[in-house]
Structure 1
């Protein structure tokens, strides 16, 4: 169960930590980022443009992302537009929870509406994927990848880097605690590892603090890992992984 509040505005990291502690300690929370237009909407002041769940300083991660000139998305461009007009993002907490509140996030996204669907102002990139578990591992939007095998640990046949030997770089992620940062750290410690073996190593990494993992116990599906490994290798705004070059 969550402790629902009337969208408490958060000034800075210290304010966030104090509020979470005063609300029972969480550690999880649902947050809403808003445009500073003073409009009273969806339980707070300011038109919402992004809804998410997180813990720790996740609330501030999107502004950090917007400071990276190589990152592009509707969310990032909204933040930059706010800054360009001399404003600041309005950060609000909707509710605080003991476990990750996927249902509350889904409820808010559906009630406010996504810009991509013409249903509302939210820049959230994806529609909400309902909870689906295989062998106790949350797979959500990757359920179809594991439907045939019925095993969340099975590596999807579409994995392009299964036999590719990898090394870290050329670009280091901004944070070592992000998903890309954790993958980078493992590859850095294991230069020459193949994509297939990398998935095995990453199974021992705790991703419970990373919202996109949709995991409470730390276990993640192989398909989820494949998406991030390929993203770190192929995406032009990432390039955290590259072909192995013997020193």
Structure 2
């Protein structure tokens, strides 16, 4: 078995290509933000480490990780560049899997309070039903039954943004979608739940929250079509966290946010978390 480990390389994409030239073994890589914080850990061979920026150039037609793509795009929009790091090279797949899992556990994923956009906890766990324990899964978002993978996908996406006790996104297969423009109460305070729903729409749509913006009520996450559920949509309207634009089809309703309202969403989610999600630019 041949193993090389540690920070073997750190630098630009071009320099990383030169470093990997001629390497035939698998490797572990880390993608880092301009401030040095990691946002994705992966494994691969050949040019695999460079695929992510190519994915980010498309409108997620490949149904890949939205949070990861948003971080890459936010880095580009701030006119900065990713840092590529090669941490581990080996011809032993078990060693590769172990190192990937170790790094993901060390840095932590977004829903664990960490900074990684990874969905799975490592190569050995790619088939896990969720990125958190089944017990915790059952206690959050009113549960995510194993028999409802579409709901699980949407709930998992939201839990990477903020802890929730009830769903804010629902699968589109549910046939009745009430209008959010019909107020269900006269007064209601702004809340983290409302902010999470808006942030989820922004993250799924690749919209930044750095200025005034329009967010769709209809979302798609990892190929699952869904929408911002009615209760939280009405609460957003009543609380003044956003204006809901009328549409004859409720699924075509949009949330209109001023720059101040977008800032209020980020304040509730946390500005650092919004940067981690790619909803705000990295700070200089």
- Tell me the TM-score normalized by structure 2: 0.40
- Structure showing greater radius of gyration is 2
- Tell me the TM-score normalized by structure 1: 0.46
